[in-house]
Amino acid sequence: MKTLSEFIDFNPSVALEKGCDYSFIGMERIQSGIRYVQSKECRAFTGGGARFLHEDTLFARITPCLENGKIAQFVAEPGICGFGSTEFFVLRAKRGISDPSFVYYLAQTDEVQSTAIQSMVGASGRQRADINSLKTFAFALPALDKQQEIGKILSYYDDLIETNRRRIALLEESARLLYREWFVKLRFPGHESAKWQDGLPEGWCFVPLTVVAKVNRACLSVKSAPDIIQYIDISSVETGVIRETAEISFAEAPGRARRLVQNGDIIWSCVRPNRKSFALMLEPDENTVVSTGFAVLSTRTIPFSYLYLATTSDEFASFLSNRATGAAYPAVTAKDFEAAEVLIPSAEVLKDFHERCEPSLCLKHNLLKQNIALAKARDELLPKLMSGAIRI
């Protein structure tokens, strides 16, 4: 048995110059269950914050980020330095003793995370883990070649997930670019010969959202509720993505588990709409239920692809953000959605647009399902490899 400090460097020193720009990682960039985190911005280093290098593991030390599994591996060009939130522990493999991938996956085990959680001290809501609890944690460290093999096996799943994530982002982007080209810039097929009236093609018009969609179509009643539901909470949804669905008994479900959804519905978080927590529901199970913290938009007369892209555009998100009320938790209501107006093109253009976008949205949905299955398989394999239940 070895303590973690014998094969992991905690918060190792990284030489950064004040005033110089370096890759920056904020806590919000870390996503539970997603291994890799890359910087999307550079900031001037002011002297504070965690410092790290390529392949270092970033481990959230503050509540509720630690309990939510905010742990990731920083990836950059070798030699690139980064810094970030003061609320990270940085874990680095010791050369010749431990493997960077193995260190990351060890940090993902329930045993390591629970040790950190149990060490938390401080005021309620701002509790932080004690780094010494991790440094003194004892673990049966396998030989370096075994660590590398374990890391390679588990990396296979995360690399596939990352490849799918890139494809998902490209599919979403291509659909949004097409939407903007046709319905914002109004360069749709045949626009050169179209007749125009009041700045719009003839036959096009703006209508209240309620004309083409129903807001919060149906709610689950206690009497008709199934024994088991597939529940989606606000925390499970990011921009365009449902990260997880919880299978729970209705008897144990929170009281907000009430909104029913069907194929083609759009769910939109009413809280902090500027965060753009929305998703398209494709092929949901019959017992899928979402939180009442969502507004559920169901199409009446237009293709779901158009409704999804129109009601999740930057313009629509800005409309909601401007109507949000509340200082601590700015939120909108169903009435705010109902007050929105959407552009309705001709039936011919809508049909053409749907035929082009639906395959991309369906492929995106299938890739998201693949990622959920890959993550589940990885998470089931992880403790068995780490404990030696499966020998390499």
Walk me through the domains of the chain, giving residue ranges and CATH numbers. 2-141 (3.90.220.20), 205-344 (3.90.220.20)
Q: What is the pLDDT of residues 65-87, one digit of tens each?
A: 999 999 999 999 888 899 999 99
Other beta carbons less than 10 A from residue 152's beta carbon: 14
389 confidence band (pLDDT: 50, 70, 90): very high
Number of H helices, E strands in the chain: 9, 25
pTM for this one? 0.88
Provide, for the chain, the percentages of residues in helix, strand and coil under a 3-state DSSP scheme, each rounded to the nearest 5: 35, 25, 40
Q: What is the pLDDT of residues 188-201, one digit of tens each?
A: 999 999 999 989 99
Which amino acid does the sequence have at 117? I
CA distance 58 to 70: 8
The sign of the CA dihedral 90, 95, 97, 100 is: positive
Give every CB contact of residue 185 below 8 A, 6+ residues apart in sequence: none
Mean pLDDT, rounded, for 150-170: 97
**CA count, 13 A, side-chain hemisphere, 278:** 27
Tokens of 209: 């959202």
CA distance 11 to 320: 42
326 confidence band (pLDDT: 50, 70, 90): very high
Mean pLDDT, rounded, for 318-325: 96
Among the listed residues 28, 26, 34, 124, the one whose alpha carbon sits nearest the alpha carbon of residue 72:
34
